């Protein structure tokens, strides 16, 4: 556990990787890849935020297989052709002093959907939709009514293999931080929650059975992701729904993931059912990060409606989380880290790029 005298601009070392500060760019879908391949958009989008001083820049949910995409525009690491364009981006990100990260994902029953600006709903087969997979044949509902196929043990083994292969490609693509996406109602989260997992085999029913798919997948990923590099897991700490997954189970899961040599839990919530009652507000998920950090003794990232530099700094100073991830705020203001350094009197800790220094 890093020392408690940390603040937003204190470095953070996990395994052999040091982040220059506690500010991370949260993985945010751009839906702008071409058959999974990154474009100039991604270079500019991620590169600009690295240049502006983020400690880590975590690339969007990146699918481990074509059917694991949320939309046809999702990023991918299911093929070797995906590597070179990402390597170019990651060399730039690293050259700007940020740690390049990626979130590996499988969208499960929420896959095969339109890009948000094209309607967000499940795609009809005629519009390029594809069959979806999940622990049980239960649809998410709402805009995502497709009933998924309940996965066989062979499907489970194949998808775990896809996560392993994507991890190996991520290493080749120059990433130094890997996050497994087990949140927001996607495949791995769907196995965790009793609201989406009605299996009667060893992957369903008890807590131990419902976490099995994530634990097995994380173990397989850890085995090929170098020990010297940080591995994180994003979870939804609560489904915010009766009978669903909750923070108590999340603390127990975090302890199990720590035992698998996971270095950090990225604490989000929701996404499992359309009727979740989420008390959204500034830092509404920070209490989850704080509880897991103290009760499971593992580093955590806080995310969710964090916009003010003083709020982000307070989260770190009070030991509520080790890292603060900004999502939409980073879309509004790529220069947030530089502005935060000024606001917090930390301009000695973070300089603008030399090309921009005369402007700050
Ligand atoms: C927003 C979201 C947050 C929390 C629960 C559900 C959804 N994001 C999540 C993104 C995709 C776009 C919507 C991912 O996690 C990939």
Task: Tell me which residue has its CA closest to atom 11 in ligand 1.
Answer: 29
Whole-number Å distance, alpha carbon 268 to ligand 1 midpoint, is 9
Cα–Cα distance measured from residue 22 to residue 20, given in angstroms and rounded to the nearest whole number:
7
Q: Give pLDDT, residue 5.
A: 81
d(CA 181, ligand 1 centre) in Å: 11
Which ligand 1 atom is nearest residue 270's CA? 5
Looking at the CA of residue 183, tell me the nearest atom of ligand 1. Answer: 15
Using the predicted structure, report yes or no on whether residue 2 has a pLDDT greater than 60: no
Q: What is the pLDDT of residue 4?
A: 53
> From ligand 1's centre to the CA of 248, what distance in Å?
22
Range 272-280 average pLDDT? 96
CATH class of the domain whose range is 12-347: alpha beta
Percent of the chain with pLDDT over 90: 98
pLDDT, tens digit (0-9, with 9 covering 90-100), for 327-336? 999 999 999 9
- Active site residue: 31, 186, 203, 356, which one? 186
Cβ pair 79, 36 in contact under 8 A:
yes
Please give the radius of gyration of the chain, using alpha carbons only, rounded to the nearest integer.
19
* pLDDT, tens digit, 9 for 90 and up, residues 112-126: 999 999 999 999 999
| Residue ranges lining ligand 1, Cβ < 6 Å | 29, 61, 184, 268, 270-271
pLDDT band at 215 (very low <50, low <70, confident <90, very high): very high
pLDDT of 146 reads 98
| Beta strands at 17-19 and 12-14: parallel, antiparallel or unpaired | antiparallel
Asked if the model's pLDDT at residue 201 lies above 80, the reply is: yes
* Averaged pLDDT, 269-294: 97
CA of 356 from ligand 1 middle (Å) equals 33
For residue 257, the 8-state DSSP code is: H
Residue among 105, 112, 114, 184 whose CB has most ligand 1 atoms within 8 A, to mutate: 184
Write down the pLDDT at residue 274. Answer: 97
> What pTM did the predictor assign?
0.98
The SS3 call for residue 253 is: helix
Write out the two tokens for 145: 């009514």
| Chain segment 129-159, per-residue pLDDT in tens | 999 999 999 999 999 999 999 999 999 999 9
Query: Atom 12, ligand 1: which residue's CA is nearest?
Result: 29
Domain ranges of the chain: 12-347
Average pLDDT, the chain: 98
Catalytic residue flag (residue 175): no
Mean pLDDT of 306-312: 98
Tokens representing residue 202 in the block:
């060893």
Mean per-residue pLDDT, 175-184: 99
Give me the pLDDT at residue 66, please.
98
Determine which of 1-15, 26-40, 80-94, 179-193 has the lowest per-residue pLDDT on average: 1-15
Closest atom of ligand 1 to CA, residue 107? 16
Ligand 1 atom nearest residue 181's Cα:
15
For 58-95, the pLDDT digits (tens) are 999 999 999 999 999 999 999 999 999 999 999 999 99
Determine contact, residues 58/325, Cβ cutoff 8 Å: yes
């Amino acid at each position: 556990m890093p020392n408690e005298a940390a603040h937003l601009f204190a470095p953070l070392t996990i395994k052999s990787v040091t982040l220059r500060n506690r500010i991370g760019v949260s993985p945010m879908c751009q839906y702008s890849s071409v058959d999974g391949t990154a474009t100039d958009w991604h270079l500019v989008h991620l590169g600009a935020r690295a240049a502006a001083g983020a400690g880590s820049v975590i690339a969007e949910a990146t699918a481990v297989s074509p059917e694991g995409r949320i939309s046809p525009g999702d990023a991918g690491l299911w093929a070797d052709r995906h590597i070179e364009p990402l390597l170019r981006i990651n060399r730039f990100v690293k050259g700007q002093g940020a740690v390049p990260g990626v979130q590996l994902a499988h969208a499960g029953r929420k896959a095969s959907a339109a890009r948000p600006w094209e309607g967000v709903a499940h795609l009809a087969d005629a519009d390029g939709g594809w069959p979806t997979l999940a622990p049980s044949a239960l649809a998410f509902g709402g805009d995502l009514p497709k009933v998924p196929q309940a996965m066989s043990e062979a499907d489970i083994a194949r998808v775990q293999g896809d996560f392993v292969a994507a991890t190996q490609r991520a290493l080749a693509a120059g990433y130094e931080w890997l996050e497994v996406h087990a949140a927001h109602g996607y495949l791995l989260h769907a196995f965790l929650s009793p609201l989406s997992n009605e299996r009667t085999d060893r992957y369903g029913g008890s807590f131990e059975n419902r976490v099995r798919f994530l634990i097995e997948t994380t173990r397989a990923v850890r085995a090929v992701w170098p020990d010297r590099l940080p591995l994180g897991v994003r979870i939804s700490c609560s489904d915010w729904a009766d009978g669903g997954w909750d923070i108590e189970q999340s603390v127990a899961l975090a302890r199990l993931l720590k035992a698998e040599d996971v270095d950090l839990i990225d604490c989000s919530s929701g996404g499992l059912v359309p009727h979740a009652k989420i008390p959204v507000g500034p830092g509404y998920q920070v209490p989850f990060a704080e509880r897991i950090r103290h009760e499971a003794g593992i580093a955590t990232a806080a995310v969710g409606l964090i916009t003010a530099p003083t709020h982000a700094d307070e989260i770190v100073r009070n030991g509520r989380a080790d890292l603060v991830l900004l999502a939409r705020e980073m879309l509004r203001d790529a220069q947030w880290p530089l502005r935060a350094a000024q606001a917090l009197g930390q301009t000695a800790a973070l300089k603008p790029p030399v090309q921009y220094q005369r402007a700050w």
